[in-house]
Structure 1
């Protein structure tokens, strides 16, 4: 339980609602910043602003999955304007006050460098990434169905990358009857793709296979779908780029060639915000419990 632990949740989207519910169940004292337009009432949660909060009472700060934008603001769909979290405010908290965020952005890292507070990037954890690969794969299927005029069954699909997201996506598409090729660099990844019944392709040979693809799905956050590769693709082909912004696709050249290319990071929060929120909330609840027990143990 998180009894007496003061957690400040700043901004975000519908996923934050599941976090609020989870922390309320764990008996934490929850302050909501950037939620002035939220209608739902949560027991134990109170809407506030950073100006009305006493930083010395705060044990943890929870930011959205997206962290902070390039302006150093925390965006919120529950507020008319973003929240400005400053290093001045954060340095007034206790030195043990921990910041949690889905991902780490450049502006967030700069803030943490100035304030020198503990930080946990939740989405860097393997368990979170694997759980999130499930709604990501489902969202990818939705996008492929929406933007093609053929069935997934019997389609020729190439999945770039065979990590946590790539593996789940490729396996799901294969189970729907697609002819799936997996393009990766590591020989162990290609061996795993072969073992799972998919055709392994070295990423260095992608140009030789791109012309047969109906759909190419990228999960690699690097420039892999270059103009040279896209130039080999069929006009009807679809690109779905799941990598974090700016993705790994030459979108300008794809548009010039008339090939539909979609950048789709953060699919879990779009297609299944409740599930994605529960994933974040369950892991965050465990992390906060661990932090709180360590602090209480140190105090005793």
Structure 2
């Protein structure tokens, strides 16, 4: 297949991100079929259809984040149906490029598709880096909603100095927060200090005292029972880590600590930007693979 052979994209399921993704692709002069959106009466000039038609009449398919539910059905929040791919669907899908997320989970549900061209756009660094910005902004929006004070003048802990932690710490400082960042790597701790943040070694994080808000970005149980028992009860904890997360929520509730699980923030807080990020990543993959 050549890049020029792709004229119609089938977008299968998803939330508002996929609707903005569809609009952005359409604006780039491609045809778009939206499958699994039967709860919508219309969506501008875009074609709404059932999943089977979107699969059969498109040149390439884009599945959402996450692509499937735990029962193997497609992630179609805008549909009242529980949609599963059947044998006919799979035979058609095998003949065209598929762009999805959580590829291993997708293929576990539909192992026959292992013989196809399956690209995991969610596993790419460029996708993760671009998504860090709306995630950070969404985390701050969550803090503004849940914290009874202002971000300006607040004492914030950012656990983790990865993609999200870097951007989140920067945005918090711009809003006037006093920011402490915890990290493990000596190089990360050096960057934290060089950028003017207070630094803590995550390995030595035994107490969370005198912080108004603590943001966790580490996909590991950091706020376990021991740490929560040494956390101020008036500290708001916002967990940004993917499931199973980094906070023992049951213990936090028992101790009277307010903890919020903030997942899929790009789709909730900035679906337009998130949709455009998916498009950019998918189109970059197409440029790399199909000349």
TM-score, normalised with respect to structure 2: 0.89
After superposition, the C-alpha distances for 1:7-28 in whole angstroms (9 at most, x for unaligned) are 3211111111222123323443
Q: 1:199 to 1:260 in 2, by over 3 A?
A: same
Residue 22 of structure 1 corresponds to which residue in structure 2?
Answer: 24
Aligned residue for 2:274, secondary structure, equals helix
- Shift in Å at residue 286 of structure 1? 3.0
Task: Tell me what 1:164 maps to.
Answer: 163
SS of the residue aligned with 2:192?
Answer: helix
Deviation at 1:168, TM superposition (A): 0.4
* Superposition deviation, residue 142 in structure 1: 1.5
Equivalent in the alignment of 2:147: 148
User: How far, CA to CA, are the matches of 2:69 and 2:237 in structure 1?
Assistant: 26
Alignment of 1:239-258 (within 5 A): 239-258=237-256
Alignment of 1:205-284 (within 5 A): 205-208=204-207, 210-284=208-282
Question: Could you say which residue in structure 1 is the equivalent of 2:120?
Answer: 121
Between 150-159 and 216-225, the greater mean CA deviation after superposition: 150-159
CA contact (8 A) 2:34 2:54 kept: no
Q: Distance in 2 between matches of 1:128 and 1:114?
A: 27
Report what 1:39 is aligned to: 41
Q: Give the match for residue 297 of structure 1.
A: none
TM-score (norm 1): 0.87
Cα offset, 1:91, TM superposition? 3.7
Partner of 1:137, secondary structure, is helix
Return 5+ residue gaps in structure 1 as ranges. 295-300
**Greater Cα shift, 260-269 or 5-14:** 5-14
Cα 1:197–1:114 change in 2 (3 A) is same
8 A Cα contact 2:10 2:54, kept in partner: no
Aligned residue pairs total 288
Quick one: structure 1 residues 54 and 236, their matched pair in 2 at CA, closer, same or farther if it must change by over 3 Å? Answer: closer
The separation in 2 between residues aligned to 1:176 and 1:4, in whole angstroms, is 44
Q: Rate the CA distance shift 1:263–1:89 in 2: closer, same or farther, 3 A.
A: farther
Q: Which residue of 2 aligns with 1:298?
A: none
Structure 2 contact 55–93 (Cα < 8 Å) conserved: no
Mapped partners of 2:205, 2:139: distance in 1: 21
Q: CA RMSD in A?
A: 2.3
Kept in 2: contact 1:132–1:279 (CA 8 A):
yes
Alpha-carbon offset, residue 217 of structure 1: 0.6
